[in-house]
């Protein structure tokens, strides 16, 4: 704790770097997952192979995936973001598909009967009704990213993992504890915030 108090500026700088890495990766992941989920939810036969492929990627150890990406993308932020996006797709796509499939088909039929086109149905009905499940997936993906982003410091992606690895290499328990506490605070804050958002959206949907 002494290191954390004495070096609060440094820890906060790495904390912000960690948040930026996670936010960028999560935003891009959601942008990629939404169209994939929208397409495969319409074609049942494609769901198993697509989600299964993402599931295989999810099981690959993070250091192995980082090592695989380094020869192509080098060190730094880029391979870390790509790895985080790949890891999150299984969680996001699976939850989005579950949310869409959980909507009563009669609601879509009623919307079509009212003359709504596919885009309006997706925007006005599919997304709002599936949103609680989608946010649950985003919450899980975000927590997973926070942990994996810590390991990304191994490839010079920055963040709080840098402080933890420095502590390990230098046998400095103060750095390890400070980095660990900061990661826990970030993870807990993210979990609580997104659970609260999920709860509010669920109430509104009901």
Report the mean per-residue pLDDT for the chain.
Answer: 87
Distance CA 121, CA 100 (A): 12
Residue 94, class by beta-carbon neighbours within 10 Å (0-12 exposed, 13-18 middle, 19+ buried)? buried
Q: Is the pLDDT of residue 96 over 70?
A: yes
Q: Is the pLDDT of residue 141 over 70?
A: yes
Say what the pLDDT of residue 205 is. Answer: 66
Distance CA 85, CA 73 (A): 14
| Sequence ranges of the domains in the chain | 2-205
Which pLDDT band, with edges at 50, 70 and 90, does 41 fall under? Answer: confident
Say what the pLDDT of residue 192 is. Answer: 95
Say what the pLDDT of residue 120 is. Answer: 78
Instruction: Tell me the average pLDDT across 40-63.
Output: 88
Distance CA 153, CA 166 (A): 10
Q: Is the pLDDT of residue 88 over 70?
A: yes
For the domain bounded by 2-205, which CATH number is listed? Answer: 1.10.3720.10
Q: Is the pLDDT of residue 68 over 90?
A: no
Which pLDDT band, with edges at 50, 70 and 90, does 45 fall under? Answer: confident
Q: Which residue has the tokens 């990304």?
A: 152
Say what the pLDDT of residue 125 is. Answer: 78
Distance CA 80, CA 21 (A): 8
Distance CA 169, CA 37 (A): 42
pTM: 0.87
């Amino acid at each position: 704790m002494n290191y954390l108090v004495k070096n609060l500026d440094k820890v906060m700088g790495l904390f912000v770097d960690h948040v930026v890495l996670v936010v960028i990766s999560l935003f891009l992941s959601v942008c990629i997952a939404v169209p994939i989920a929208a397409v495969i939810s319409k074609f049942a036969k494609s769901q198993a192979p697509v989600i299964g492929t993402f599931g295989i990627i999810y099981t690959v150890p993070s250091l192995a995936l980082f090592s695989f990406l380094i020869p192509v993308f080098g060190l730094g932020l880029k391979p870390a973001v790509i790895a985080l996006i790949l890891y999150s797709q299984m969680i996001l796509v699976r939850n989005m598909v579950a949310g869409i499939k959980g909507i009563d088909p009669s609601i879509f039929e009623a919307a079509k009967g009212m003359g709504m086109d596919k885009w309006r149905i997706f925007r006005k009905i599919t997304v709002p009704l599936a949103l609680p499940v989608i946010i649950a997936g985003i919450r899980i993906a975000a927590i997973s990213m926070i942990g994996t982003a810590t390991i990304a410091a191994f490839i010079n992606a920055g963040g709080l993992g840098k402080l933890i690895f420095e502590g390990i290499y230098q046998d400095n328990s103060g750095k390890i504890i400070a980095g660990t506490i900061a990661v826990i605070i970030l993870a807990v804050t993210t979990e609580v915030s997104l659970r609260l958002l999920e709860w509010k959206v669920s109430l509104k949907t009901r």
